[in-house]
Amino acid sequence: MSLTLLLGGARSGKSRLAVRLAASPGLPVVVIATGEARDEEMAERIHRHRAERPAEWETIEEPIDLAGPLANVQDRNCVLVDCLTLWVSNLMEMGLSDGEIEERAGKAASLAATRGSLAVAVTNEVGSGIVPEGALARRFADVLGRVNAIWAEEADRALLVVAGRVLPLSDPADVLKELSRG
């Protein structure tokens, strides 16, 4: 059916909008959650996200293998992936190379985009701030930026969420066509 990618900063309203979008078709929803409660603060974040979702939604906790659940969730279900940011962090922590992460991102994004029902993916936009000081932080920002671009290319629509408001992101090919028309 379609893939919608929601990008934005922390507390921008991405997940809240993702819940509204996933609920809109009126289909059963499966949430693929990539976060792990490794400390109290993260456990509280996960609890808050769960509380914002309807209780009848199924949650699959999968911090590493997005492709597996995306391939196995029935097409009659809407899928919500929350979030790519933590997923990339988890893969980096496992020691995967940038290329391996990008390959996994391409496979998962393609699976999400070709589902028979709506898929919504949430991710952070971390490249809009200052260049991080440390090499690991710079690598993370670079890899996540490329993963976001991979998902955006597969998506039917990509939306930037800022302060609870949405800005549609144009496909570069469409922009180039408009510019060539003069």
Task: State which residues form the domain around 37.
Answer: 3-181
Contact 22, 120 (CB under 8 A): yes
Question: Whose CA is closest to 117, among 169, 70, 165?
Answer: 70
What pLDDT was estimated at residue 155? Answer: 97
Task: Please tell me the total count of domains within the chain.
Answer: 1
The vertex-132 CA angle with 34 and 140, nearest 5°, equals 30
pLDDT by residue for the chain (182 residues), tens only, comes to 699 999 999 889 999 999 999 999 999 999 999 988 788 988 888 788 888 889 999 999 999 999 999 999 999 999 999 999 999 999 999 999 999 999 999 999 999 999 999 999 999 999 888 888 899 999 999 999 999 999 999 999 999 999 999 999 988 777 777 777 86
What pLDDT was estimated at residue 1? Answer: 61
Alpha-helical regions (H) of the chain = 14-23, 40-52, 67-72, 84-93, 98-113, 135-154, 172-181
> What is the DSSP pairing of strand 58-61 with strand 29-33?
parallel
Contact 94, 138 (CB under 8 A): no
Q: What does residue 120 show for φ and ψ, rounded to 5 degrees?
A: -125, 130
User: 122: which strand partners?
Assistant: 6, 82
Give this prediction's pTM: 0.92
**How far is residue 68's CA from residue 37's CA, in Å, rounded to a whole number?**
21
To which H or E segment does residue 164 belong?
none
End-to-end Cα separation, the chain, in angstroms? 33
> What is the DSSP pairing of strand 3-8 with strand 157-162?
parallel
What pLDDT was estimated at residue 45? Answer: 83
Q: What is the DSSP letter of 131?
A: P
CATH number where 107 lies = 3.40.50.300
What pLDDT was estimated at residue 34? Answer: 95
What pLDDT was estimated at residue 182? Answer: 66
What pLDDT was estimated at residue 126? Answer: 92
What are the residue numbers of the active site?
49
**How far is residue 1's CA from residue 17's CA, in Å, rounded to a whole number?**
19
Contact 40, 102 (CB under 8 A): no
